[in-house]
Every structure is written in C-alpha cells, then in structure tokens.
Structure 1
Amino acid sequence: MDKMRKLVLVFVLSVFAFNVNAQNAEKAKKLLDEVSAKVNSYENIQIEFKYELNNKEANTKQESKGNVTLEGDKYLLNFLGFTKMYDTKKVYTIVPANEEVTITDADEDETSLSPSQMLTFYKNGYSYAWDILQNVRGRKIQYVKLTPIDSESDIKSVLLGIDIKTKHIYNLIETGKNGTNTTLTVNSFKTNQPLSKSLFIFDESKYEDYYIDKND
C-alpha cells in the first residue's frame, strides 16, 4: 500500500513541478523544461486519474480511480478510499473505513513529497532518454524514459508520456523487475479553478468520532 501511495504521489506531484538535469539527453531535458514552465504558470491544478496494475505471471490485475488538487506545495489527494492532505507543515491521512486520522509532521512522512522535493527523486535516481512518440486518440504523446541508476532498484524503467501540444503529463508507466506494470493516466486536467480557502485546512471537528493519531 505504501509503495502504491508513493507512486501515485510521484505521478501527481511531478505533474506540478518538473525541472530535471538530463545530461546526455538534451531533447528530453528541453521537453521536461517546457513542461515545467507550462505547469508552473498555473495557480492550481485539479487532476482526475486512473490507476492500473498488471502482473500476468502472478495473474494480478487492479484498477482504481483517484483525484488530486495541487496549489503550490499543498495538495489534497483522494485515492483507494483514503484522503491525504498536505498543508506544507503537516500531512493528514484520513481513512473513513477505519474511522481514523493520522497527523504527521511533513519531514517524518515518507510519502509527503512536495513538488520541490519530488525533483530529487528524478535528479539523483535516474538517467534520461528520448523514447517513442505515440498517437493516442489524435493526441501526440512523446515519452521520456527514466532508468534507475541503482542496479539493485526494484524498478526496471519509468516512461513519462507528455502531450506535445499542451505540454502536460499524460501518463506514467512503471515497469518493475518482478514483471509488474503500473500505469497512471490523466483523465481530466483542469487549471486555475476557484478553490475554497479552507480546502487545505484540517477541521478536526468533522472527525469527532474518529481516532486521531497525532504522532506526538
């Protein structure tokens, strides 16, 4: 579950901030810099996405949908029955099925990756390469391939699909060395939406019947 949550956050947060050092891959670097310039011009972004996991050998297949709202470093993620909110200081994980809320300091939560912190994942852990161009229902999607530098990584490769026209990330495809393929695809991408001022504020009064773990 934690790995799944991390992958989702890698995906949605990389949509909001992308600026990589891609030596020996100038075309990939140029495209990702254009993505960064485009998305960083928005005040906020709202994304609806689809998550797919497949492993033919293990006969495993899973599909789910989620959504996320990003504004600066703040985000509100709804996925797999839980809500995760980051207000730049605290991470709030709300699980209605368990009637539980966990509140963690951002620097203590492994999945609380702000857009700026998200960049470290790519800069230090991967090499970059220009990959295939695909036509997806009339949209030209250019892929950039990320290969882990660490030979012991569980990840074989990651493909980031970028819409050439909009300069938005269309999908992320992670291939694991165990044969598991995980795909996250953007179904809806909205920008500069009117947001409630309280959207990223945790209101404890709404969870009076919940167990609240503040990790003090």
Structure 2
Amino acid sequence: MKFNNNSIATTFFKFTNSKVFSLVFLLFAVFSTQAQDKKAKDLLDEVTAKIKKHKNIVIDFKYTLNNAKENINQESKGSVTIQGNKYVLNFLGVTKIYDGKKTYTIVPEDEEITISSVNDKDEKAITPSKMLTFFNSGYTYKWDISQNIKGRKIQYVKLTPTAKKDTRKEVLLGIDTQTKTIYNVIEVGKNGTKTTLTVNSFKTNQPLPKNQFTFVASKYPNYYINKLD
C-alpha cells in the first residue's frame, strides 16, 4: 500500500484522536504480522537444515482422511525409509521403491509390478523425500497456534498455496520446537476434505541393508510386470 504526503495529511486531519489511535494500532498489527511471518520462515528453514544433515530417515506414520459432508472417515498406517532421493514407501498394502532412476510399484493384492522412470529434477514430481521439505516453495507462511501434545510443544505454521488452481485451502504444518522435526501435516481442501499425516516414529541414521533401495525381480516370480517406458 502506497501513501503520498497529501493523502497522509488529509487522513490525519479528517480523523479524530481516537481514529488516529486506531490507525496506529492497525499499523502496529501489520508490522507484527510481518515479524511473525519471518518467524515462520525461520522455523521452516531450521527444519530443512536439520533434515539435510541426516544420512537417512525412517518414519512410521498415521494417515487420516475426513470429509463430514460426504460422511468419509478413514484411517491407515504406513512407513517410509528415505536416503537422499531414494526411498521405500509402504502404504495401503502397496510398496513403492525408488532407486534414484526408476520407481517400482508393487501391489501384492493384484500380483502386479509397475516400473516407470522418474525425472528427479522435475519440480512437479512429488516424492517422499520432497514431502519433508515441500513447504520451501509455492506457499505463503503465517505463524499460527501452539499446542502442548503429550508433553511436546508443537508450533503450527499455516501455509497458503499461491497457485490459484490448487485444490487445497490451507496446510497446517506442526513442528516440534525442541527437535525441529515435523510432527504432523494437516491439509484442508476447498471441498471440505481434511487429511492429516501424523509422524508416530522419526528415526535417523539407521543401519540399512545394502539392497534397501534395490528392486529384486526374483522375489516376485508370479507377478505381472508392467513397464511403462
């Protein structure tokens, strides 16, 4: 918002003393919000820096989906092991392995494996490793509420997507202020759908097998293999 000297003078002479006080209070609130936004960005930067220091990360999580309007309430658990850009994700009975070049999606229920290439440099490509730092672009930040959850102080940062086509209204990122790790991620959709991913266990620098991120076809002798490229 821009003011010229004439408009400022006119505004001050037009307002009574109480109006001027209200204006000053409003300006103070604006500056306070800007400071909080910086606090939010600084906290997110601390989380990002800490994540990048770890050789690997192993996470057990709970995922819930709720839409009161559609009477939908689902809950499931999963786990993910991340090392650099490689990962193994187990969720909803499906295992997904990414070895740095290709993704292997293993579906035991259908006895089917889908193999596809992934451009890891593609910013639009969503991977578990990026899920830990997704907030670094595409959002505005705002300092939100703080809660005490089982003796842990969780500070929330409200993220608002900047893309108009984004189907999400907002994302609340809960951060453990002591460990600087993500506790949960709450996404609120424009259609009323609310999804929550809660980290139940967060382990780092674990001893992993050498073939942790290697797909071994011999383990699935009767599976149909679908190569997309």
Say if 1:54 and 1:192 are closer, same or farther in 2 by CA, change over 3 A: same
Instruction: Provide the C-alpha distance between the structure 1 equivalents of 2:223 and 2:125, rounded to a whole number of angstroms.
Output: 22
TM-score by length of 1: 0.83
- Aligned to 1:198, the other structure's residue is in SS state coil
Q: Which has the larger radius of gyration?
A: 2
Kept in 2: contact 1:86–1:112 (CA 8 A): no
Kept in 1: contact 2:119–2:125 (CA 8 A): no
Letter of the 1:200 counterpart: F
Q: Identify the match of residue 106 of structure 1 among 105, 112, 118.
A: 118
Instruction: Provide the C-alpha distance between the structure 2 equivalents of 1:184 and 1:118, rounded to a whole number of angstroms.
Output: 12
Say if 1:102 and 1:143 are closer, same or farther in 2 by CA, change over 3 A: same
TM-score by length of 2: 0.78
Say if 1:153 and 1:23 are closer, same or farther in 2 by CA, change over 3 A: farther
Q: Identify the match of residue 170 of structure 2 among 138, 157, 176.
A: 157
CA apart distance, 1:113? 2.7
Match of 1:196 in 2: 209
Q: Which structure 2 residues correspond to residues 82-97 of structure 1 after superposition, within 5 A?
A: 82-97=94-109
- Aligned to 1:97, the other structure's residue is in SS state coil
Instruction: Provide the C-alpha distance between the structure 2 equivalents of 1:111 and 1:76, rounded to a whole number of angstroms.
Output: 16
Letter of the 2:113 counterpart: V
Cα RMSD for the two superposed structures? 2.3
Letter of the 1:77 counterpart: L
Letter of the 2:96 counterpart: K
Aligned length: 194
Instruction: Provide the C-alpha distance between the structure 2 equivalents of 1:181 and 1:117, rounded to a whole number of angstroms.
Output: 17
- Aligned to 2:106, the other structure's residue is in SS state strand
Q: Which structure 2 residues correspond to residues 16-35 of structure 1 after superposition, within 5 A?
A: 25-35=37-47
Instruction: Provide the C-alpha distance between the structure 2 equivalents of 1:138 and 1:55, rounded to a whole number of angstroms.
Output: 29
Instruction: Provide the C-alpha distance between the structure 1 equivalents of 2:76 and 2:132, rounded to a whole number of angstroms.
Output: 23
Unaligned segments of structure 2, at least 5 residues = 1-33
Question: Which whole-Å deviations, capped at 9, do the CAs of 1:30-61 have from their partners, x for residues lacking one?
Answer: 11111122222211111000000111111100
Is 1:169 aligned to residue 193 of structure 2?
no
Letter of the 2:47 counterpart: V
Say if 1:59 and 1:116 are closer, same or farther in 2 by CA, change over 3 A: closer
Q: Identify the match of residue 60 of structure 1 among 50, 62, 72.
A: 72
Is 1:40 aligned to residue 40 of structure 2?
no
Letter of the 1:105 counterpart: S
Letter of the 2:171 counterpart: V
Letter of the 2:73 counterpart: K
